[in-house]
Amino acid sequence: DPEAYQTVFDAALAADERIEPRDWLPDAYRASLIRQMAQHAHSEIIGMQPEANWITRAPSLRRKAILMAKVQDEAGHGLYLYSAAETLGTSREELLDKLHSGRQKYSSIFNYPTLTWADVGAIGWLVDGAAITNQVPLCRCSYGPYARAMVRICKEESFHQRQGYELLLTLSRGTPAQHAMAQDAVDRWWWPSLMMFGPPDDASAHSAQSMAWKIKRHSNDELRQRFVDICVPQAEALGLTLPDPDLKWNEDRGHYDFGPIDWEEFREVLRGNGPCNAQRMSQRRRAHEEGAWVREAAAAYAAKHGKAEA
């Protein structure tokens, strides 16, 4: 009796219990989780490209090792999230096919170019910092496999954010040219990082339902504000400025006021017209094609030796 199942589901949500793969759950809840988890995974995988661009050109062995570890982590986060999404009855193949055919998205932030080494620091500090602000509440998401995946991902994300901050601090305290390079990177990555949190609440298609299902625990604007409040003092500690003349502490609100976001730019990037959309997608499709032999070999091995051993 679907009515009874819905009642049990609603009671579990109300009691802040975890919904697990074997539980009955509404089709719309399943579909929205697959949508969000798949796009989260796609973001991790595409997000490897901007940073990988600098692995061969890192300024020291130490920086190279850190960056390689971070890019490998992002791949792992992607695979972790695809596995969590598969518990909802979809498959990695199906999700990747949707990414490659443009039927599923990845985060807008990865459609911007990494023009200098300082971009690696700006991405760690701002992009991974925004990801942490968004992902910590997801550790309390109602769907068990997603929430548990977030716990481990958040731990690794803190290292990503820390290394980026430290990289920028080194440059900021370096020669004037190094300071200028760090400032230029922050100037280019600040506003796109704020767009990672999604459209304004009054333009968010999924927020109300997502919050009713306790998937989204805070609104897009709430997390965006939390991120701004965290970054302003950090920028001061870095000796760098943020490219927003309207940034100002508002005693009444207990938050920083900040300037308007260019939502037309956001919509253009989501339409596929960002600086690097075409390049990111062609690189992703090429990697998938070039990796076909690995998938075929693994499948052949599994067929020959039985799944368990593979």
Tell me the closest approach of the beta carbon of residue 302 to ligand 3HC, in angstroms: 29
The binder of ligand 3HC chosen from 9, 39, 227, 238 (CB under 6 A): 39
Spatial CA neighbour of 157 closest among 134, 141, 185, 140:
134
Provide the β-strand partners of residue 278.
none
Residue 88 sits in the site that holds ligand 3HC (CB under 6 A): no
For residues 247 and 259, is the Cβ–Cβ distance under 8 A? yes
What lies within 8 Å, CB to CB, of 212 at 6+ separation is none
Determine if 108 is a binding residue for ligand 3HC (CB under 6 A): yes
219 binds ligand 3HC (CB under 6 A): no
Instruction: Report the residue from 220, 227, 240, 242 that binds ligand 3HC according to the rule CB under 6 A.
Output: 220
Which two three-digit tokens encode residue 170? 């080194």
For ligand 3HC, the closer of residues 40 and 226 by Cβ is 40
Tell me if 127 contacts ligand 3HC by CB under 6 A.
yes
CB 188 within 8 A of CB 115: yes
**Piece of the chain touching ligand 3HC by CB under 6 A; list 2-10, 144-152, 201-209, 274-282:** 201-209
Identify the DSSP state of 205. Answer: S
Contacts of 26 (CB under 8 A, 6+ apart): 6, 9
Q: Which of 125, 199, 228, 258 binds ligand 3HC (CB under 6 A)?
A: 199
Tokens 């968004």 found at: 134
Q: Among 91, 86, 211, 84, which residue's Cα sits nearest to residue 148?
A: 84
Residue 164 binds ligand 3HC, judged by CB under 6 A? no
- Alpha-carbon distance of 88 to 22, in angstroms, equals 9
Asked if residues 46 and 284 have their Cβ atoms less than 8 Å apart, the reply is yes
**Distance of closest approach, residue 16 Cβ to ligand 3HC, in angstroms:** 19
Of 86-94, 200-208, 254-262, 280-288, which segment contacts ligand 3HC by CB under 6 A? Answer: 200-208
Taking the least distance from each CB to ligand 3HC, the nearer of 39 and 90 is 39
Query: Could you say which of 51, 86, 119, 128 contacts ligand 3HC (CB under 6 A)?
Result: 128
Q: Which stretch binds ligand 3HC (CB under 6 A): 43-51, 181-189, 239-247, 301-309?
A: 43-51
Q: Where does residue 148 fall: left (phi above 0), alpha (psi -120 to 50 degrees), or beta otherwise?
A: alpha
Residue 244 interacts with ligand 3HC (CB under 6 A)?
no
Closer residue to ligand 3HC (CB): 179 or 191: 191
C-alpha to C-alpha distance for 47 and 118, rounded to whole angstroms: 16
Of 18, 162, 206, 288, the residue at the interface with ligand 3HC (CB under 6 A) is 206
Q: Minimum distance between the CB of residue 298 and ligand 3HC, rounded to whole angstroms?
A: 25
Residue from 12, 25, 88, 131 in contact with ligand 3HC (CB under 6 A): 131
Q: Does 270 bind ligand 3HC (CB under 6 A)?
A: yes
Distance (Å, whole) CA 121 – CA 235: 13
Number of CB atoms found within 10 A of residue 255's CB? 14
Place of tokens 């504000």: 225
Instruction: Note the residues at the interface with ligand 3HC (CB under 6 A).
Output: 35-36, 39-40, 43-44, 47, 74, 77, 105, 107-108, 127-128, 131, 134, 195-199, 204-207, 210, 216, 220, 270
